[in-house]
Amino acid sequence: MQGRVLIVENDPTVSRLATDFLRYDGHEVTVAGDGEEGLKSFSMGEFDVVVTDVKMPKMDGIQMMKAIKALDPTIVVIVFTGFGTFEMTIEVIRNGGYDFLRKPDDVAQRIRPTVMRAIEKRRLEI
């Protein structure tokens, strides 16, 4: 099952890695470099899943996730970060996050199956 994925990440190495994995599986991927750009891309396109970093300039990933969820409550948001804490994980879940991945290990190991499950979830809900 292929989908449309928005990746919001300010580290070009991580966004390239995630993009390569997802495009290999046939997904259509759009990349934004920060939360403001991600919100703009989201409002201009149609996506099944958003994958976002937390710590970014201009607008962090949690703020962006709240704004995106206000526009589309059914969107599935996966958060990844290299600076995750228990408190951050709880905040992501409370604000409607689907899953929480750690960079860089989970990007390489878990992003593909996590995005596939997220797309299935999204398509069942709409």
- Please report the pLDDT score of residue 29 as a whole number: 98
Whole-angstrom Cα distance, residue 38 to residue 49? 12
Instruction: Count, in order, helices (H) and strands (E) of the chain.
Output: 5, 5
- pLDDT in the model for residue 96: 83
* Amino acid 109: pLDDT: 83
Domain encompassing residue 44: 4-125
Count up the domains in the chain and report the number. 1
- Which of 23-37, 39-53, 101-115 comes out lowest in average pLDDT? 101-115
Exposure b/e, 48-59, CB count within 10 A at least 16 = b: bbbbbbbebeeb
Q: For residue 14, give the CATH number of its domain.
A: 3.40.50.2300
Q: Does the model's pTM come out above 0.75?
A: yes
pLDDT, tens only, 51-70: 999 888 888 889 999 999 99
